[in-house]
Amino acid sequence: MTITELQLDGLVGPTHNYAGLSVGNVASMSNEGNVSFPRAAVLQGLDKMAFVASLGIQQAVMPPQDRPELSLLRSLGFQGDDETVLAAVHQEDPVLLAQASSAASMWTANAATVTPSCDAATRRVQFTPANLRDKLHRSIEPPQTGMLLRRIFADASFFEHHLPLIAASQYGDEGAANHTWLHTTSHGVHLFVYGSVARDPSSPSPQRFPARQTREASQAIARLHGIDNAFFTQQNPDAIDAGVFHNDVIAVGSGSVLLVHEHAFLNTKSTIQALAEILGDGFAACVVPAEALTVPEAVSTYLFNSQLLQTPEGHVLVAPSQVEAHPRARAVVDEWVQGDGPISRVHFIDVRESMYNGGGPACLRLRVPLTRTELEAVHPGVRWSEALEASLRAWAVRWYPESLSPDDLADPSLARGNRDALQALTDLLDLGPVYPFQQ
């Protein structure tokens, strides 16, 4: 059975801004308060999708969420009409306003964990939205994520949707950013990487920054999805303390290829050995030594947050332009491309607006492995075409502010504009009413 990987990219939302909300994410922490450029941000995302689609890869779009999330503010005691609520929260708690306004749902690698039907007990594609409980501004994403995924993958004979895991610290789940499906012609494995074991306080854990994914959560996802070929391994706590807040900042895999830093896991050597034993012939792991690239360099360039795409011409790497500008990161890529290296071509892409918040090319997409028949059942309105691209570009230019600074978040016209933009988008994508404000 041939499996096609659909790239479901999050559209950057009109409230894209830099609020320094993600402790442990170096880019987010260091760009706090900077002016953002939402229109440029969404257009950069569209450029990336257009390039990926030009490789013959299946591409689709995931709409942004309704922000600011006024229902969050009301649930915390702010009362009155929208304008009054926004003015009060701006005055009393501007950080909360930024949390309610974040466009973080653009990083769809964290939207959910997805399992192909061939590895699921029910033989349907499995979706579980991540609870993202570690960060308040992300913990409000799952309800709208779930609604959108159910709408896009609606046919219950092919797709099965679960509720997010309970949002307790024991079950912190960050979705596909910590999950990689590897397979050779004969074997497959689902690699789940966790940051801590919540119920074992004596287990190794980071000292400075939070471990967002727990082993308990990874195991629960594997159980829910009915996966019997799962492999669990722990992230290196020192890497988390150096800014590797998700595994996809230090490793990327696709099919039979795994590109990984030597300090990615608590025990990288034994992890790779175990994967090689499971996957057999054909598995290729490229382990990058710290001598070639330190963990902080991996974090600042986001080399491992490249998209690794299987195309008819071999594996193509879509890497952030920060890699191109960094001689040591560039040298690592050059080695992968040379001779019988695992990559046939690299393409550098400018997604700087997302990068400044710690989101590279791979963060911006959720991989959905589908059979041909399942692909045909995806909501057609979100699937990439030249016509859709043109409409989305015109839509972005019409609705997105050119720039935003922290004080702009209190402007009620931003909230109104976001809803008008989402209404226009759901019409354009033929999604019907999907957001609570449309019910």
Which active-site residues does the annotation give? Answer: 174, 246, 363
The encoded tokens of residue 229 equal: 């070929």
Shortest Å distance, C-beta 185 to ligand SUG: 29
Q: Least separation, in Å, of the C-beta of 97 and ligand SUG? A: 12
Q: Least CB distance from residue 400 to ligand SUG, whole Å?
A: 17
Q: Is 52 an interacting residue with respect to ligand SUG (CB under 6 A)?
A: no
CA–chain centroid gap for 6, Å, is: 14
Task: Write the DSSP symbol of residue 378.
Answer: S
Measured distance CA(154)–CA(343) in Å, rounded = 35
**Number of helices and strands (H, E) in the chain?**
17, 15
Q: How far is the CB of 189 from ligand SUG (least distance, A)?
A: 20
Query: Which SS3 state, helix, strand or coil, does residue 73 take?
Result: helix
> Which residues pair with residue 9 across a beta bridge?
61, 365
How many residues belong to the site for ligand SUG (CB under 6 A)?
Answer: 23
Half-sphere CA count of 438, side-chain side, radius 13 A: 19
Contacts with ligand SUG, 217-256, as mask; x by CB under 6 A? ----------------------------xx-xx-------
**Residue of 48, 133, 138, 315 interacting with ligand SUG (CB under 6 A):** 138
Which of residues 44, 110, 113, 236 is near ligand SUG by CB under 6 A? 110
SS3 336: helix
Q: Are 173 and 113 in contact (CB under 8 A)?
A: yes
Any contact of residue 102 with ligand SUG (CB under 6 A)? yes
Q: Among residues 8, 11, 21, 97, which is the contact residue for ligand SUG, using CB under 6 A? A: 21
Which residue among 7, 15, 25, 254 contacts ligand SUG (CB under 6 A)? 25
Instruction: Map residue 432 onto helix, strand or coil.
Output: coil
330 touches 324 (CB < 8 A): yes
Among residues 43 and 177, whose Cβ is nearest to ligand SUG? Answer: 177
Choose between 54 and 405: whose C-beta lies nearer to ligand SUG.
Answer: 405
Partners of 258 in the β-ladder: 253, 285
The backbone torsions φ and ψ at residue 309, rounded to the nearest 5 degrees and listed phi first, read -115, 135
Stretch that binds ligand SUG, among 46-54, 103-111, 147-155, 223-231 (CB under 6 A): 103-111
Q: Considering beta carbons, is residue 19 or 258 the nearer one to ligand SUG? A: 19
- CB of 60 or CB of 279, closer to ligand SUG: 60
Distance separating alpha carbons of residues 135 and 125, to the nearest angstrom: 28
CA–CA distances in Å: residue 234 to residues 190, 237, 267, 278, 437: 14, 8, 8, 18, 41
In whole angstroms, how close is the CB of 34 to ligand SUG at the nearest point?
Answer: 10
- Is residue 107 within the footprint of ligand SUG (CB under 6 A)? yes
Q: Which is nearer to ligand SUG, 279 or 293 (CB)?
A: 293
Binding to ligand SUG by CB under 6 A, coded x per residue (else -) over 155-184, reads ----------------------x-------
Options 3, 19, 114, 318; binder of ligand SUG; rule CB under 6 A: 19
Q: Is 20 in the site for ligand SUG (CB under 6 A)?
A: yes
Burial of residue 286 (number of CB atoms within 10 Å: 0-12, 13-18, 19+): middle
* 3-class state of residue 254 by DSSP: strand
Which amino acid makes up residue 68?
P
User: What are the residues whose beta carbons fall under 8 Å from the beta carbon of 383, sequence distance 6 or more?
Assistant: 58, 59, 60
Nearer to ligand SUG, 36 or 234 (CB): 36
Applying CB under 6 A, the span of 21-29, 54-62, 189-197, 254-262 interacting with ligand SUG comes to 21-29
- Return d(Cα 307, Cα 315) in angstroms, integer: 10
Binding ligand SUG (rule: CB under 6 A), the pick from 104, 198, 303, 404 is 104
Task: By CB under 6 A, name the one of 109, 182, 275, 332 that touches ligand SUG.
Answer: 109
Please, which residue, 59 or 357, has the CB nearer to ligand SUG?
Answer: 357
Displacement of CA 405 from its chain's centroid (Å): 24
What lies within 8 Å, CB to CB, of 343 at 6+ separation is 308, 314, 315, 316, 317, 333, 336, 337
Q: Does 261 bind ligand SUG (CB under 6 A)?
A: no
Residue 307 touches ligand SUG, criterion: CB under 6 A: no
User: Mask of contacts with ligand SUG, 346-365, x by CB under 6 A?
Assistant: -----------xxx---x--
Task: Select 117 or 234, whichever has its Cβ closest to ligand SUG.
Answer: 234
- If one asks whether residue 211 binds ligand SUG (CB under 6 A), the answer comes out as no
Kindly report whether the peptide bond that precedes residue 14 is cis, defined as omega within 30 degrees of 0: no
Which residues of the shown chain bind ligand SUG in the complex (CB under 6 A)? Answer: 18-22, 25, 28, 102, 104, 107, 109-110, 135, 138, 177, 245-246, 248-249, 357-359, 363
